[in-house]
A and B are shown apart, each in its own frame.
Chain A
């Protein structure tokens, strides 16, 4: 790779500041979806698990790599699906909001 430890340190510090800045002012209804969404993002550890798998030697290291890839995949897939389900609720609310003013009578007859 083209990076050394100091380069990574620079990236680390800048990313930390960016992480603080990027989510300023989150309404409380989005706290949990944001937690869940960022939870999915740290599933990027899958990339690390793949590196481990590709260099694994012997049964123990291969097993550890298999476990790591499995767990990281759970993290990504589960995190994304759970976040999507939470945010689905926002979609239905916005649609309800959009339909109501122009066509209130229709949505009433539906139930």
Chain B
């Protein structure tokens, strides 16, 4: 096959510089809605340039390994990424991040093995150890986050006695093994180090649950960036250092933005803020069954909606799960045809990822002007007749505003309780993603319609049309 094309070291670095510029422009463009799509394309261009030239320079004798593995990777990744439903996007991001972390860890091990017969100098051993530990933590953490979001295991925080102590011991073991690997290079030590790092990654993610999981994925994304940068030091490669560091730094900032949007501090999330009340969810459900709720049938609620002046639709994860966005928009149109003013109140973290609701409603052709952000919507609730909550819970829970003892206290919410009537479309009385009970469900102004969001909306639509 192709002989290696000779490109000087300077030439290769120049190509990498071009690719680095693409990545910088890509990140910049991705942070504005107008340019975001173009940003992704520029990122692809940077990737193609770097990968293609590296392949031409490095491949002799090993073309089949590289080509075969790349072909196989593309064969697996494209269908997986194409067919996954929009609701499962956060866990897909987690998975593709995890494999990147794993690749970084595997590379550092391979390089270590390659150099072992001749001895590994400390200035190379240190970044090798760093890339291995951070990459493995990112991989194990992402895999567990995937399992949680995919509901292969409980999405709730997993807490056991002495958890912090166990994580601490694993952390100390990692430091000790890392020193050992650098000072006296050995195969057994680096294997144990890899295992310990995997355990730490799992240990970090276990106590995090609920709506915090996407923030944690962002943090692990930043970790993978740093592991890639460390591999850049290992392999003496400029583009790995630049791209890895860009992702590490921007990812850290993005993680902070995401946790700020939820009104939560990052240390609080990582150390398992919800973990303080592991039994809280269960008792809240128990207590909930004691209190009375008011439920009604679709005809009653349809009439209430049809004769309102102003209705605010508050979508949440339940809307996404039921794929009810089209019916929701149809209901809004039917109401508007009767002269009812309708708008959608979008909480920034409604659903399982920021922007989730905008994406779904845009897909259903909801008019852009009717999508209202939190502050704007909160100004309107006092003049709203009916707040129609479709499969949302935590983002409208007044406890986040009023109850300092609540685990979600401090998260900004939609003040649906200032509307004249509140209608919840819910599948069951189960609490929301955070596991925190919602007192608003028991409010005398609240009416519940149980059932799948799509079915309920369809019934409401029929009721509105006939009333």
* A and B part of one assembly: yes
Contact with B along A39-75 (1 / 0, CB 8 A): 1111111111111111111001110111111111111
Q: Which chain B residues border A37 with CB–CB below 8 Å?
A: 26-27, 30, 36, 39-40, 43
- On whether the beta carbons of A46 and B51 are closer than 8 Å, the reply is yes
Q: State whether B107 touches A68 (Cβ < 8 A).
A: yes
| CB-based contact B33/A96 at 8 Å | no
Task: Name the one of B33, B60, B251 contacting A38, with C-beta atoms under 8 angstroms.
Answer: B251
State whether A15 touches B9 (Cβ < 8 A): no
Q: Knowing A37-B27, A62-B65, say if A43 contacts B100 (CB, 8 Å).
A: yes
CB contacts (< 8 Å) of A1 on chain B: these are 9, 12-13, 236-238
B190-211 vs A, Cβ < 8 Å mask (1 yes, 0 no): 0000000000000000000000
Given A39-B100, A41-B43, CB of A61 within 8 Å of CB of B89:
no
| Chain A residues within an 8 Å CB radius of B9 | 1-2
Contact between chains at B103 and A61 (CB < 8 Å): no
Q: Which of B13, B96, B245 touches A12 (beta carbons < 8 Å)?
A: B245
Contact call A35/B58, Cβ cutoff below 8 A: no
Residues of B with C-beta under 8 A to A2: 9-10, 13
Q: Which residues of A contact B26 (CB under 8 A)?
A: 37, 41
Identity of the chain A residue whose Cβ is nearest the Cβ of B84 in the assembled complex: A82
Decide yes or no whether B384 CB sits under 8 A from chain A: no
Asked whether B89 lies within 8 Å of A82 as measured between CB atoms, the reply is yes
Q: Which segment, of B73-81, B276-284, B315-323, faces chain A?
A: B73-81
Instruction: Point out the residues of chain A lying under 8 angstroms from B228, CB to CB.
Output: 42, 44-45, 48
Given A16-B248, A96-B368: A44 and B240 interface contact (C-beta under 8 Å): yes
Interface residues of B in 60-99 (CB under 8 A from A): 60-62, 65-66, 68-70, 72-74, 76-78, 80-82, 84, 86, 89-90, 92-93, 95-97, 99
User: B114 contacts which chain A residues (CB < 8 A)?
Assistant: 52, 55-57, 61
A65/B78 in contact, CB under 8 A: no
Would you call A73 and B74 a contact (CB within 8 A)?
yes
- Please count the residue pairs between chain A and chain B whose beta carbons lie under 8 angstroms apart in the complex: 381
Task: Tell whether B180 is near chain A: CB-to-CB under 8 Å.
Answer: no
The stretch of B253-261, B386-394, B443-451 in contact with A is B253-261
A106 at the interface (CB under 8 A from B): no
Cβ contact within 8 Å between B73 and A31 = no
Q: Does B111 contact A (CB under 8 A)?
A: yes
Q: Which of B398-431 contact A (CB under 8 A)?
A: none
Bound Cα distance A28, B248 (Å): 19
Q: Is the CB of B106 within 8 A of A67?
A: yes
Q: Is the CB of B27 within 8 A of A93?
A: no
CB distance from A99 to the nearest CB of B (A): 10
Q: Would you call A109 an interface residue if the criterion is a C-beta within 8 Å of the partner chain's C-beta atoms?
A: no
Inter-chain contact A91/B103, CB cutoff 8 Å: no
Query: Contact: A50 with B225, CB < 8 Å?
Result: no
In the complex, what residue of chain B is closest to A64 when comparing beta carbons?
B110
Assuming the contacts A1-B13, A37-B40, asked whether A70 and B245 have C-beta atoms less than 8 A apart, the reply is no
By the criterion CB–CB under 8 Å, are A31 and B245 in contact?
A: no
Query: Is the beta-carbon distance between B32 and A30 smaller than 8 angstroms?
Result: yes
Please give me the residue from chain B that is nearest to A62 by CB atom.
B65
Is B243 interfacial (CB 8 A cutoff)? yes
Which of A62, A74, A90 contacts B77, CB < 8 Å? Answer: A74
| Complex Cα spacing A47 to B240, Å | 8
Q: Name the interface residues of B109-136: CB closer than 8 Å to any CB of A.
A: 109-111, 113-114, 123
Residues of A near B296 (CB, < 8 A) are none
Contact of A105 with B by CB under 8 A? no
- Beyond the given A23-B31, A45-B244, could you list 12 further A-B residue pairs with CB under 8 A, ordered by the A residue number? A28-B257, A30-B33, A32-B93, A35-B254, A40-B40, A41-B46, A41-B246, A51-B54, A71-B99, A82-B81, A86-B89, A87-B37
Q: Which residues of B contact A (CB under 8 A)?
A: 9-10, 12-13, 19, 23-24, 26-28, 30-33, 36-37, 39-40, 43-44, 46-47, 50-51, 54-55, 58-62, 65-66, 68-70, 72-74, 76-78, 80-82, 84, 86, 89-90, 92-93, 95-97, 99-100, 102-104, 106-107, 109-111, 113-114, 123, 214, 217-218, 221, 224-225, 228-229, 231-254, 257-258, 261, 348-349, 353-356, 358-359, 362-363, 365, 367-368
Question: Can you identify 22 A-B contacts, CB atoms within 8 angstroms?
Answer: A8-B233, A12-B241, A16-B248, A19-B250, A19-B253, A20-B249, A32-B214, A37-B26, A37-B39, A42-B228, A43-B100, A44-B47, A44-B228, A45-B103, A54-B66, A61-B110, A64-B106, A65-B65, A66-B65, A77-B74, A81-B82, A90-B37
